[in-house]
Every structure is written in structure tokens, then in C-alpha cells.
Structure 1
Amino acid sequence: MTNAEAYDRGFAHLSSHTVGPLLATARESLAPRLLDVGCGTGVVTAAALALGAEVTAVDADPVMLELIARRHPYATIRQATLPELPFEGELFDAIAGNFVINHVPDTAGALKELHRVLRPGGTIALTWWKSDEMTATSVFTEAITAAEVPYDPPRRPFSAHDTPPRFTALLAEAGFQAPAVDSVRWRHQVDLETWWTDIVESGGPRFGVIADHPPETVERIRSHYLRLATPYAQEGFPVCAYLAHATR
């Protein structure tokens, strides 16, 4: 079970760096009906509402949806899991998905479904992490390894599609026009102790398992994390994300 409040302080804070670029095309086109797919705790929804959009926010996690419904009563909230959405075709003027496409098991099917619910001429923008430039979370994996703790992270089906050429090809196959991928880089500046707490307490399949270990094992992992993270304490963790955009 995801701890939505901890997730909001940790991962959602990290992912908020891409919200502006993600919504750029929707902002330029003044798209009134926007689908925030994989909305999480609502960083995209909040920004889109501030732009005057009519937002429908969708997520698979009921805990996330409960939090976003409290925070954003003017958004339409629906529970759904890609590649199936409970909407009629050509309903939305724009779709934004902030770090959701890398979690769906069927990337091609998800893109076809997003194409179905987007109106002709509408825009789509999707982000995912560049895995080899994701220091803010890779320090946790490295710390688990350094602590010699058995670790079997979840399989990543998206890794077969996570390069710009592969993903633009998938967008084209799904029927989107003029697909392109940009890189977005930044430094994620956080207090290292706070970052540890928020990521571990967030739960979820990748790092929530840290808290399942005995306290002495958790402390051993934490000591390695601090050793590995300390070089980034001043300037922040270097992070890179890919941003794909296209039209229908």
C-alpha cells in the first residue's frame, strides 16, 4: 500500500520538476479538457487547474485518488488502469501523463487507448525517467546492494521502449502525428535525511521493501545510502527525464 502523504513529499516533489514542460503544449493550445492520466497526488492536476483547464484525473491507486479528491474538488476523479479508460472516444483536448507510461505493463496498448480518447488535433505529453541518470533513486538501490541485502526489484516491461527512437516509433504506430522526445535535466535538492524517510515511507514495490527488514538491516542500508548520497548534498542529485509529445 502506498503512503500517499509520504509519496507526495518524496516522489511527487521529484516529479513536479517536469510539470511545466509537460503542460507547455496544452497551455499554448488553450486546451480546455485535459486528462491527467496516472495523476498520483495531483501535481499536474493542480497546475492544469491553475491554467483554467477542465481536468479529469485518473489513477489506479484509490489512496492517491482520495488525497487528490480532497485537495482538488473541482477536478473530476476516476479510478482506472491503463490500457483501459472509462471514457468515450475523442473526449479530451489534451492528455498529460507524468511518469505513468513507464509503469504500465502494455505500452503499445496504453498508447492506443490514449489515442482513442484524444480528439483529432489534440495533444499528448508523457514523461519517463532516463534510468541511467536517475541518481535520486539509484542511491537506494546501490545502498541495498552495498548492505548485501537480497533485493529483487520489480521487472520493468517499459525498458524495451524507453529510448527516444523506440518510443517515437510506438507513438507513430498508435496513430499519433509528429512524435518527438526532449530531454529535461535538473538537480534535485533535498535534505538527505528527509529524502530517505519520504522514499522509504512511501511504500510501493521498489523501495517500500526496505522497511520490511529488521531495524539493524534498515540502519545498515541507511548508512550506505548516506555515504553514497553525501556527495550530492550541496548541489543536489542529477536527474534526467524524457518528455514525449505528439498530436492526434
Structure 2
Amino acid sequence: MAPGTPFDASERRAWANSADAYEASFGRLCAHPIPRLLDAAGVHAGTRVLDVGTGTGSVAVAAGARGARVTAVDADPGMARRAAHAAPDACAVIAALPQLPFPDGQFDAVVGNFVLNHVGRPRAALDELRRVTRRGGRIALTLWAAPAAPGQALLGRAVQAAGVTRPPDLPALAPEDDFPRTEDGLLGLLRGAGLADAACLPLSWDHRTTPQEWWRGPAAGVATIGRIVISQGPAVTERIRRQFAVLAEEFTDRDGSLVLPHAALLASGRVAGSA
């Protein structure tokens, strides 16, 4: 198995103890593609499904509502506990890609909602997902598209406008492990993992939130953007917040809510062979 990378270690720190703040900020955004993600994986009553990178358990809850038999995995213990509470009929496990504690072919379907954004070796991660999926089973994944849609780029623009740069202790994905965050790039990743019938669908939607809700996540240090926001102390965080307030005006509706355009990719494929 591929060992963890500096990027993986950084991600573990970025998401530690963040379940509450994530659920109160970015959680609703990330829940948007869940129905189509489950459809792409063929999740229905009786399906043995693995929800990898479950976070606070939104996918596990939705899969369970379809009558699936759900195993939910997250690298962060706090997230796994939250998922276990949200989806009490699911089996919640603490584990991190690319090393999952399951035998070959255990699941009929594997889903990962934006999990590939948070692993240091995406190809090794996808190989592991294929390993635990039975022959003929399906894998479905979502990924934030690049370039980022305007709403997704808002927080990064505020950081840039405040003159703040990425701290050196937040490593980026190694170039040899990265891949284009495009339809072709994601299809190439799936086909390279040996998945048959690979398909990729672009998704776009407007996420409606409030300035207070959208700022809550980064102000609490959630994810990489949050670690950048809080990296230099309260005065710099406040400077970023002021820039955010100015830039958010272009997305503000008449009722004061934010309408943030987002774009993602939904890819799926089948493990070759018959069950």
C-alpha cells in the first residue's frame, strides 16, 4: 500500500475537531450532489455500500434511506462519531485512504463525495476503492472542478485581497500525484484504475447561504482555506473577513442571502467482470 504523504498529514490536521463547524458551514453545500451520486453507484435496497470520506454522514443517511446496508468511513474520529450518530444503522469505521480495513470485493457499490480532493495519492486511493468493490460493482465519486466556479472562489479571493499567502506548512499535492480536475482528467483517472463504462457528468448549482454561515467555516479553521485564514492570528483573520464582506456583495441577493455558483464533476465506473 502507498504510504501517507505530507499532504495527507496536513489534511488530517485541517479536519481534526471540525465536525461541528463543517456541518454548520460547508456541509449543506457538499450535500447537493448526493442523490445523483447514489444513482450513479446504483445504490438501492439491499446494496452493500461503502461511503468513504463520510464526514458528518450525509451520504450514509441518504443511502440508508434507500434501504442500503451502509459502511461509513472517515479518517477523522470526530467525523466518524458524528456519522455514527447521524446514521445509527450504518457501520462507522475510522480509516484513511489508501488503506482500508476491508477484504477484496466486500461492497456492491462505493461512493466518495469530494473525498478525492483530500487524499495525497488519488490514483492509489482509487485503486483501493476498486479493490474493495466486487466484480460488476460500481464506484461513483464527486470532485470539485477546476477552474473553480465564482462562488467557490470567493473565500480564496478574499484571502488574496488581504495579501495573505498559503503557509509553508500546508503542502500542496505533489505534481506527480495530481491530475487535471476536468472531465477528461477524471475520466483518465477512472480508466487508469481499470474501471469499465467510465462516465463523467459536470454539475453546477447555486448554493444559497448567508454571509455569516459562509464565513463560519473558515473562521473556525475548517479545511485548508480555514487553516490559511487563521494561520497568522486574529488581526489577519479580521482583515480577510473585511475583504470577504466586500467581495460577497456581488453575490448578495435582495434578501441579504448569498447565492454562490458552484461547479463539480460526478464520475462513475464499473469494476470489470461479473459477480
Tell me if TM exceeds 0.5. Answer: yes
Could you list the per-position Cα deviations for residues 179-201 of structure 1 after superposition, in whole angstroms to 9, with x for gaps in the alignment? 01100100011011221013321
Name the structure 2 match of 1:112: 127
**Pairs within 5 Å for 1:1-248:** 1-27=16-42, 30=45, 32-152=47-167, 154-157=171-174, 159-234=178-253, 236-248=259-271
1:75, distance to aligned residue in structure 2 (A): 0.6
Could you list the per-position Cα deviations for residues 66-119 of structure 1 after superposition, in whole angstroms to 9, with x for gaps in the alignment? 111222221101111111110011110111100001221111111111111111
Worse-matched range after superposition: 153-162 or 8-17: 153-162
**Are 1:56 and 1:75, in contact at CA under 8 Å, matched by a contact in 2?**
yes
CA distance in 1, matches of 2:182, 2:151: 20
CA distance in 1, matches of 2:265, 2:83: 25
Worse-matched range after superposition: 166-175 or 148-157: 148-157
CA distance in 2, matches of 1:105, 1:218: 27
Could you list the per-position Cα deviations for residues 32-89 of structure 1 after superposition, in whole angstroms to 9, with x for gaps in the alignment? 1000011111110110011110000011111101111222221101111111110011
**Are 2:53 and 2:113, in contact at CA under 8 Å, matched by a contact in 1?**
yes
CA distance in 2, matches of 1:166, 1:195: 29
Which ranges in structure 1 are unaligned for 5 or more consecutive residues? none
Which ranges in structure 2 are unaligned for 5 or more consecutive residues? 1-15
TM, length-normalised to structure 1: 0.92
Could you list the per-position Cα deviations for residues 140-168 of structure 1 after superposition, in whole angstroms to 9, with x for gaps in the alignment? 22111111223336413564242222322
**Are 2:217 and 2:226, in contact at CA under 8 Å, matched by a contact in 1?**
no
Residue 43 of structure 1 aligns with an amino acid whose one-letter code is: S
Worse-matched range after superposition: 166-175 or 92-101: 166-175
From the superposition, tell whether residues 75 and 29 of structure 1 become closer, same or farther in structure 2 (CA, over 3 Å).
Answer: closer
SS of 1:189's equivalent in the other structure is strand
CA distance in 2, matches of 1:165, 1:31: 33
1:133, distance to aligned residue in structure 2 (A): 3.0
Name the structure 1 match of 2:9: none
CA distance in 2, matches of 1:217, 1:117: 45
| RMSD, aligned CA | 1.9
From the superposition, tell whether residues 87 and 150 of structure 1 become closer, same or farther in structure 2 (CA, over 3 Å).
Answer: same
Residue 154 of structure 2 aligns with an amino acid whose one-letter code is: V
